Amino acid sequence: MSMSSSKNGNSIFNVEELTVNYDKTAVLWDVTFSIPGGQLVGLIGPNGAGKSTLLKASIGLVRPLSGSVQFFGQSFERARSRVAYVPQRSSVDWDFPITALDLVLMGRYGSLGLFKWVSQKDREAAKKALDMVEMLPFAQRQISELSGGQQQRLFIARALLQEADLYLMDEPFAGIDMATEKMLVHLFRVLRGQGKTLLIVHHDLSAVQEYFDWLIMLNTCLIACGPVKEVYFDQNILRTYGRSTHLLDEAARLAQDKVTGLK
Amino acid sequence: MIEFFTDPVLRAPTLGSMLMCLASSLVGVIVFLRKRSLIGETLSHAAYPGVVLSIGVASLLPEEIFPIAVLAGAFATSLLGLKTVDILERKFRVKSDAALTFVLSFFFSIGILVASRFQTTHSLWYKQAEMFLFGQTATMTDIHIVIYGILAIFIIAFIVATFRHLEATNFDRSFAETLGIRCQTIDHASFLLLALAIVIGIRSCGVVLMAGMLIAPAASARLFSKRLSHHFLLAAVFGLAAGFIGNFLSIRLPQGTYVLPTGPTILLSAALLCLLSLLFAPKQGLFSRLFRRLRFHHECQMENGLKALWKGKKVEFPFLIYFHLRFRGLLDKHKILTSEGRQRAEKIVRLHRLWEVYLVDYLGQRAEKVHRNAEELEHLLTPDLEHALTELLHDPKLDPHHQPIPPGPPRTLL
């Protein structure tokens, strides 16, 4: 692991002893790893393994119990403009009255103060991003009229507009059509070619070796982190997806009952 | 009609109601989009004890201060109600709808109790408190226009200033937070504005009817707008219209001793506009949906007619179908398919039979069971789906009933 990371330059995303609890239930426990730049990184693990929580805790959406996270050697607040987050598609209300172009333009809102509106330059950039995900013909469509795959493409285009160096994507392949998945994988490779790093939460094991260079295997605790070739083997997969943590879950549930005073 | 804006007696109620409707419909958009429509109902009722208590206090103050004192009292208990909902939801884990209903009835009861206490001792206070139950515009004066005007401008300024932040926060909160937008501040400000809009509104609509004025214009405007800015603008237009129409009708309609109270009339105007929108909106309106369904039915009938002719059956065309097929050049005057008509018919037959092959080969359906489903799908399958089916099934030549499948367009043969 250390060999490869030195070969690929400095690590750009460091997670240090990160622990996150929801009430008393541990969702992430003492997770430590680092990711080198310019890689396609898969974050895999079963449901409830804490994959989304890991992303959210890293960027301050969920408050960790302890631990620290650094992006490019800085806190998230300082490195904000270099990190783009793509939430799960299901986390937003697609009936919201905005057009595809409006949604993508949100990628530029970070630099907008009060009373500021997007400029023509932003608009052009947004159209270019739409074009990259083959959604330009739909620019003026209301987002509720689009298919799941098309909606996901908009989320990706919005992240592209942020012109970040690190992309954190929560289940971008969930519930989309084959054509979109193919297109996204191609786009991700292009981005990697430009030296960007992509960390992608994923649950379909069949494509792991094809899609990713690096892998983070997570089940509340970190199981493994390293180049796919070095960490993706049966024993790790079994530890990640097996029942090994189910006693921990059971104990956590008991603790939870005591805390809430319901039982 | 112009006298509603110039006449010294009419102008205060008219402009006051319109400003109030403008404010509430703008804030209503935010509440509506967050799917928290009930909160308006709760906050307006929670404002009532504040109104009643401050009427008592304000009677000691100079007359010009009176409207401001009542606004302040209403605002205070309304915020208290909001805070109570928040505590119930977070600390006591009460479900949102239960918390809202509880706070609504609890605060409103207190208001009623205090008002009843006034009834015997201070009948003037009681009358004034009554006024805020269902609203009363007729007694508004120019000072109300000034106050409501300032509050309305304040709300508009907030929405314009934070428009992008409002949009991001309410559409995709976690994303907005990663951009560094202070979503919680936006939320707090939105709720303050909501309470403000409500205390402005209860003077003309009353605490009981206020919530409708928040939601009706927002709901109508949603049907016509595909962008947030349009939603705000249209809601404002609907709100202003409802405010004016309600006032106009309540003064012009009544004959003799019959009185038409303004508050409910404004609300009914807003509701009527909403109903009209639901019926006639271009995309989601009832009539346009009905029209699209009829059109689809008509298309199916045309296609079925072409198909039957292609198979060599005798077809009796209804006049409208015949006329339309002739108009499109699919049929000639001897009721024989033109070459275009034949192409169209072959395409439908092809889709029908392709779909049958798919159902039998891939979904394991029995051949005699698939006809009905294909009968429907033949009108629906898109060229993309046809292409995908052709590839998946390796461009079959025969359907499950051993009927030939007409060849597809050139690109499907690739």
User: How distant, in Å, are the alpha carbons of B19, B96, B350, B411 from that of A182?
Assistant: 53, 42, 29, 21
* Rounded-to-integer distance, Cα B153 and Cα A115, Å: 15
* Rounded-to-integer distance, Cα B220 and Cα B226, Å: 13
- Which residue shows structure tokens 């009681």? B126
A33: which strand partners? A15
Contact A34, A11 (CB under 8 A): yes
Reported as a pLDDT band with limits 50, 70 and 90, residue A244 is: low
Q: How many CB atoms lie within 10 A of CB A92?
A: 19
Domain annotation for chain B: domains and CATH numbers: 3-282 (1.10.3470.10), 288-392 (1.10.10.10)
What b-and-e string marks burial along B331-346, b requiring 16 or more CB atoms within 10 Å of the CB? Answer: beeeeebeeebbebbb
- Which residue shows structure tokens 């504005």? B193
How high is the pLDDT of residue A222? 94
Tokens encoding B298: 């008509």
A and B: number of Cβ contacts within 8 A: 77
How high is the pLDDT of residue B347? 92
Query: What is the sign of the dihedral through the CA atoms of B327, B331, B332 and B338?
Result: positive
Neighboring chain B residues of A56 at a CB cutoff of 8 Å: 174
DSSP for residue A206: G
pTM: 0.87
B301 φ, ψ to 5°?
A: -60, -40
Coil vs helix vs strand at A129: helix
Of B161, B179, B228, the CB nearest to A110: B179
Of B161, B172, B179, the CB nearest to A87: B172
User: How distant, in Å, are the alpha carbons of A203, B39, B220, B272 from that of B276?
Assistant: 47, 25, 8, 6
Q: Which helix (H) or strand (E) holds B111?
A: helix B96-121
A87/B170 touch (CB, cutoff 8 Å), yes or no: no
The complex scores an ipTM of 0.89
B161/A112 touch (CB, cutoff 8 Å), yes or no: no
Neighboring chain A residues of B172 at a CB cutoff of 8 Å: 87, 91-92, 106
Tokens encoding B165: 């932040």
Residues in Cβ contact with A209 at an 8 Å cutoff, skipping those fewer than 6 apart: A228, A232
Kindly give the confidence (pLDDT) of every residue in chain B, 414 residues in length, as a single tens digit, with 9 standing for 90 and above.
788 888 888 888 899 999 999 999 999 999 999 988 899 999 999 999 999 999 988 878 787 788 888 889 999 999 999 999 999 999 999 999 999 999 999 999 999 999 998 888 888 888 888 888 888 887 888 888 898 899 899 999 999 999 999 999 999 999 999 999 999 999 999 999 999 999 888 888 888 888 899 999 999 999 999 999 999 999 999 999 999 999 999 888 877 777 888 889 999 999 999 999 999 998 889 999 999 999 999 999 999 999 999 988 888 888 899 899 999 999 888 888 999 999 999 999 999 999 999 999 988 888 888 898 898 889 998 888 888 889 889 889 888 888 999 988 765 444
How high is the pLDDT of residue B335? 85
Burial of A57 (0-12, 13-18, 19+ CB in 10 A): buried
> Which 21-40 residues of chain B touch chain A by CB within 8 A?
33, 35
| Residue A7 predicted with pLDDT over 50 | no
The DSSP annotation for B307-320 comes to: HHHHTT------HH
Residues in Cβ contact with B62 at an 8 Å cutoff, skipping those fewer than 6 apart: none
Residues in Cβ contact with B149 at an 8 Å cutoff, skipping those fewer than 6 apart: B15, B19
Tokens encoding B313: 């059956």
Q: CA B336, B340, B341, B343: dihedral to nearest 10 degrees?
A: 120
Taking an 8 Å Cβ-Cβ cutoff, which residues of chain A contact chain B? 56, 59-61, 77, 80, 83, 85, 87, 91-93, 96-99, 102-103, 106, 109-110, 112, 114-118, 142, 158
Mean pLDDT for the stretch of residues A14-19: 95
| Residue A3 predicted with pLDDT over 50 | no
B177/A60 touch (CB, cutoff 8 Å), yes or no: yes
A167: which strand partners? A84, A198
The DSSP annotation for B346-401 comes to: HHHHHHHHHHHHHHHHHH---GGGSHHHHHHHTTT--HHHHHHHHHHTTS-SB-TT
Contact A220, A247 (CB under 8 A): no
Contact A65, A19 (CB under 8 A): yes
Contact A156, A133 (CB under 8 A): yes
Coil vs helix vs strand at A217: strand
Of A77, A112, A158, the CB nearest to B164: A112
Kindly state whether B354 is in contact with chain A, defined as any CB-CB distance less than 8 angstroms: no
- Which residue shows structure tokens 């805390």? A259
